[in-house]
């Protein structure tokens, strides 16, 4: 059976995450210790004690989620070393976790890179000026069109194609508010403002992407030992220049999650493993293709249940 490992992004974090897994697998503490050495502060303490406002700062959330995903991945490797995926992918920030897991960059490189990515994103749009919202119950094309009708001289774009009928938009807050109102008028089943201040994956992130490109230019990447499907192109690359270009583009272009899962399916993947806190991707994937089974691995119980499988 072909499998794939997928890693969640921002939004799946919570104070106290992985506390249970850390008690039974020392690799969790080791991963966070290595990450903390790069960052210059105790990342595990922030993850375990918060407060929420601190953990939810983009520049902290990103290394925290990357470390969490890698900690779960390494614990899984210890328990089920025979489970080797055909593909890896990650949702938004999770793409970086997938690249670390696939050996493209070290944990230390990944932590430093996403901390800088988060800093650049926060710097690109002042707090309160950007917004994101989820639109449920409309076709992708309808959401794209209502964004075009709502933007005026500002930015609002469809940025996350999460499931059929669930698209996230992002941009200037005023333009996003206009798009939300228009979505309701167009018959959307639900319109939900997201609790973020950084409008990811839209044109407002282009300045941050340009600076990220500079940070990436001096980094040495290895060839992935497992193909990683990238959010923007839904393709896997061996060449370091192409991987770096994909990461730059991802900052200001949409996450094609539906197409990513469909690509895995068309290449014979039958089972997915979501590695990291929460069950966000499992929820999305059930609405993309219920025939693909998915296991969520985030604590000692889910890891223990997996170890009992044949």
Catalytic residues: 92, 201
User: What is the distance in angstroms between the CA of the first residue and the CA of the last residue of the chain?
Assistant: 12
| Nearest-angstrom CA–CA distance, 163 and 47 | 29
Q: Which residues contact 79 (CB under 8 A, 6 or more apart)?
A: 303, 306, 307
DSSP 8-class letter at 224: P
CB distance 145 to 203 below 8 Å: no
Cβ-in-10-Å burial (0-12, 13-18, 19+) of 152 comes to: exposed
Give exposure, 127-142, as e/b (b: 16+ Cβ within 10 Å): eebbbbbbbeebebeb
Q: Which residues contact 221 (CB under 8 A, 6 or more apart)?
A: 104, 105, 240, 243, 244
| Nearest-angstrom CA–CA distance, 131 and 246 | 24
Query: Which residue blocks in the chain are alpha helix, DSSP H?
Result: 19-24, 26-39, 43-49, 52-55, 58-79, 94-101, 107-124, 140-150, 173-185, 206-217, 240-250, 257-266, 280-288, 300-307
Residue 58 CA, chain-centre distance (Å), reads: 12
Task: Provide the Cα torsion 255, 256, 258, 259; round to 10°.
Answer: -160
Q: In what order do the strands lie in the sheet with 293-297?
A: 87-90, 2-7, 269-275, 293-297
């Amino acid at each position: 059976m072909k499998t794939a490992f997928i890693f969640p992004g921002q939004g799946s974090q919570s104070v106290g995450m992985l506390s249970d897994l850390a008690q039974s697998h020392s690799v969790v503490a080791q991963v966070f210790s290595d990450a903390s050495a790069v960052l210059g502060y105790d990342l595990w303490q922030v993850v375990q004690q918060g407060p929420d406002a601190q953990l939810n700062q983009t520049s902290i959330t990103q290394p925290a989620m990357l470390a969490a995903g890698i900690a779960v991945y390494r614990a899984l490797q210890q328990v089920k070393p025979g489970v080797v995926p055909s593909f890896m992918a990650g949702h938004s920030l999770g793409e970086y976790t997938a690249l670390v897991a696939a050996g493209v960059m070290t944990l230390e490189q990944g932590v430093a890179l996403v901390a800088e990515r988060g800093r650049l994103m926060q710097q690109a749009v002042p707090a309160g000026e950007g917004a994101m919202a989820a639109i449920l119950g409309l076709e992708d094309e309808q959401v794209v069109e209502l964004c075009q009708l709502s933007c005026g001289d500002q930015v609002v774009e469809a940025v996350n194609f999460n499931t059929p009928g669930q698209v996230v938009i992002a941009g200037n807050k005023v333009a996003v508010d206009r798009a939300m109102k228009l979505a309701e008028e167009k018959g959307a089943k639900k319109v939900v403002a997201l609790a973020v201040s950084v409008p990811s994956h839209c044109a407002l992130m282009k300045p941050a992407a340009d600076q990220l490109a500079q940070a990436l230019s001096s980094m040495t990447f290895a060839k992935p030992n497992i193909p990683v499907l990238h959010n923007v192109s839904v393709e896997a690359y061996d060449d370091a220049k192409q991987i770096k270009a994909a990461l730059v583009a991802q900052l200001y272009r949409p996450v094609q999650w539906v197409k990513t899962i469909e690509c895995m399916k068309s290449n014979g993947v039958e089972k997915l493993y979501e590695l990291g806190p929460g069950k966000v991707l499992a929820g999305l994937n059930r609405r993309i293709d219920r025939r693909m089974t998915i296991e969520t691995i985030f604590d000692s119980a889910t890891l223990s249940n997996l170890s009992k499988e044949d």
